[in-house]
Every structure is written in C-alpha cells, then in structure tokens.
Amino acid sequence: MSEVVVTGIGVAAPNGVGAEEYWKAVVAGESGIRPISRFDTARYPIKLAGEVPEFDAEQDFTRRLMPQTDRLTRLALFAAEFALEDAEIVPEELPSYSMGVAVSSSTGGLEFGQRELQALWGTGWESVSAYMSFAWYYAVHTGQISIRYGMQGPSGVVVSEQAGGLDALGYARRRVRKGTAVMTAGGLDGLICPYGVAIQSSTGEVGTGTDPERAYLPFHLDSAGHAIGEGGAVLVLESREDAERRGAPRLYGTLAGYGAAFDPDPAGPGGDGLVRAARQALADAGRSAQDVDVVFADAAGTSALDRAEADALCTLFGERGVPVAAPKALTGRLLSGGGPLDVATALLAIRDGLVPAVAAAPPGRVDPRIDLVAGAPRSLEIGTALVLARGRGGFASALVLTGP
C-alpha cells in the first residue's frame, strides 16, 4: 500500500493565518483567544473565543461568492488555496478526476444560517436567501473547494465533532491509497455568532472566565473548561511516489497510521476509546508506543475528560512516558478544524525539531502524570508523532505521523 505524504499545509487559525504565521505564533506562545469581537457578549456566559483575525487577502475574495458563503467557507477556500500553493499544485494542469476534496465541518456556517433564520422567522420565507439551501450545510466547504479548483474525484465529508477532522484525513488517506492523486483534506469549523455561542454554552464545558490567559488550561488541576474557537487547516495529500515524481517542493511527513473508536463513557476513568484508537493507529503504522516521540493531545480542558486522557496516555506510555503538546490551548477548540490544525502543527514541529509549549503553570498545578510541554518550546528530534482527538458523545480518533 502506498505511503501517503503531506505536501502542502494551509492554516486559518485564531493566532495566525498561513502556516508560517501560525507556526511563528505557536512557537512564541502567542494565544489567539481574546474577548469576542463579533457581537456584544454582555448577556452571554461565554466572553472569550479564538476568532480568526481579518486578513488582507480577504479584501480580494471573489466578489461573486461573497453573498453565497459564510466566512467559515471563505476561510476554508483560503486554507485550500494556501495548501495548494504550498504544494505547488496547479489544479488546472491535472486531470479533474484525479483530485478530490474532504474538508470536515460540524456546520457550514451558522452565522449565515442565523441571519437567514432571522429572515424567515422575523419577516417570512420569501425573504430568505436563495443560497441558504447550501450555504450552511456540512458539505459546503467541500463542494465549494471542488467547484473552485475543478476537483471532480471522490470527495466526502466525515463529521464526528472534534474527532471529525482526523477522520476526514483518514478518509482522504484511503482515497490516495486507492488511486486518487491529490486529496485536499482537513477541517474548518466554528460557531462564533450569537446563536452558536448560546448553543455551545449549553454544554457547561466551556470556560466562562474573562482572563484570556486562564481561558483554556488543559491538564491543569484547576481547569474550568475549554475556550471555543474557529478555523482549522487544509492539507494536500499525495502518494510518496507521485510527490517524488513531480518533484514536490516539500514533504512534511507521512500519515502513517489511523485508528478510530467509540467510547460510550468518554469522561469515565481509563480513556478506553483513546487507547483503542491509538493502538489501532500505531498498528496501522507498524509502530509501537516506544517509537512515539511526542503526543498532540486532545486536551479537553475539563477535569473528567483530561483525567481520562491522562489515564489513556499512562496506559499507552507509562507515567510521564512521552512529551505531551497541547497547542490548542492557544486557539481554543475548533471542532472539526482542531484535528487537522494539530496535524499541521505536528508536521511543523517535526520539520523544526521543536515541540510547542503552552503557558507555564505554577508548580504542582498540572496533572503530575503528564509531561506537558509548558513554558518554552522543547527541542526534540521527532521521528513519530501521535495526534489524538475526541468528539463530543464518545468519538475517539488517532493519527500517527512520521517524518519525511
């Protein structure tokens, strides 16, 4: 079975747009979590979020597509563009059926949706946009990317909340292994509009503080929930043979193994779903736990889920058996965008031999069983990285990355 490599990375994250800008911010420990700017949060329990800042290229976005897209879809289109440029792939030059798209999302764009719901309920159905039929459903990013680049090959959308982005990459990896030359895959997600924030406040798992520096402290003993965020990443996947044959400018690494499992009790002790997903992914990659140099954790930020993940890491690697990175503490949880962004981060970490850090914690405040990389990035030659993700309700997914 052919090896599937990543040849392009496109990022739209709260702390940086574009892979290099984002990576610079991550290495510097810069957080994108700030007071919500998009609407007045006075009556909302959630005050903070990782919003993707506006950037110059947005001004030049195709005017024709403006009225039919939520900003989230535009971010997905930009992330795809960045990734294809990074890979130096010119879609017009390739057979259309040899390219496919798999960009996961739990919402196509709820801000667009809320606006049209308001038109329907406030005014009447005749005032609803003709674009509503597709502008907010889960497959919209994938459909729009396929149209923009003439990608007519196998495409699909796999949704499993925060685990969905890894599942989309797993799906895309199957496509490349079965003959699709180029897959544009990842996830872009987020719910930062009044109704979206109200929806997320219903779980009780989102922090309600106002201090951005304390908004999301995974594995901390005094963690009080996660921060929400928007954005994600799109990757270009190819077979190693194809990438080498065409002289791809960059080989970031290999998607060496994938595994997924369902855990009916995700907050219970043991982290059984994560353990099974990780073991499958390692077996798929032909690796063992000893080979793993760093884990990019799901890092849920609520005490029960963090404890379950720490249990899982202890079962897999032993106590403090592996360095653990949690860069999503700098972006908030991005739903389907989170897994692909972690994969992008892990690939850049492999490239630069540097594990990104979360803010330093006072002594004794982090789960002592976890070797959480904090304070400053850690220099480390990384041959194999494990990325974990859990989706609300019991989804657990794992991806094993190896260096180029």
Concatenate the DSSP letters of all residues of 216-255 into one string: --TTBTT---BPEE-EEEEEEEEEHHHHHHTT-S---EEE
Output the smallest distance, CB 296 to another protein, in A: 20
Residue list 363-392, contact with another protein (CB under 8 A) = 391-392
Residue list 278-317, contact with another protein (CB under 8 A) = 280
User: Which one of residues 37, 62, 123, 288 is an interface residue with another protein (CB under 8 A)?
Assistant: 123
User: Which one of residues 120, 221, 359, 361 is an interface residue with another protein (CB under 8 A)?
Assistant: 120
Q: Which part of the chain contacts another protein (CB under 8 A), choosing from 48-56, 197-205, 242-250, 318-326?
A: 197-205
* Tokens found for residue 382: 């990384």
Residue list 1-30, contact with another protein (CB under 8 A) = none
* Tokens found for residue 269: 């002790």
Residue list 134-193, contact with another protein (CB under 8 A) = 134, 137-140, 142-144, 146-147, 149-161, 163-164, 167, 171, 174
Q: Is 62 in the site for another protein (CB under 8 A)?
A: no
Output the smallest distance, CB 249 to another protein, in A: 26
**What is the rounded end-to-end Cα distance, in angstroms, of the chain?**
17
Q: Is 198 in the site for another protein (CB under 8 A)?
A: yes
Choose between 33 and 132: whose C-beta lies nearer to another protein.
Answer: 132
Q: Which residue has the tokens 């970490």?
A: 349
* Tokens found for residue 258: 């994938």
Q: Is 247 in the site for another protein (CB under 8 A)?
A: no
User: Which one of residues 209, 212, 270, 394 is an interface residue with another protein (CB under 8 A)?
Assistant: 394
Q: Is 119 in the site for another protein (CB under 8 A)?
A: yes
User: Which one of residues 2, 37, 62, 96 is an interface residue with another protein (CB under 8 A)?
Assistant: 96
DSSP state of 56: G
Total binding residues for another protein by CB under 8 A?
82
Q: What's the rounded Cα separation, in Å, for the pair 273 and 395?
A: 7
Half-sphere exposure in the Cβ direction for 118 (13 Å, CA) = 9
Choose between 35 and 353: whose C-beta lies nearer to another protein.
Answer: 35
Choose between 201 and 303: whose C-beta lies nearer to another protein.
Answer: 201
Q: Is 90 in the site for another protein (CB under 8 A)?
A: no
Residues 288-293: contacts with CB under 8 Å, at least 24 apart = 289/316, 289/317, 289/321, 289/322, 291/383, 291/384, 292/317, 292/322, 292/384, 292/385, 292/386, 292/400, 293/322, 293/323, 293/380, 293/381, 293/382, 293/383, 293/384, 293/385
H or E stretch at 285: helix 272-285
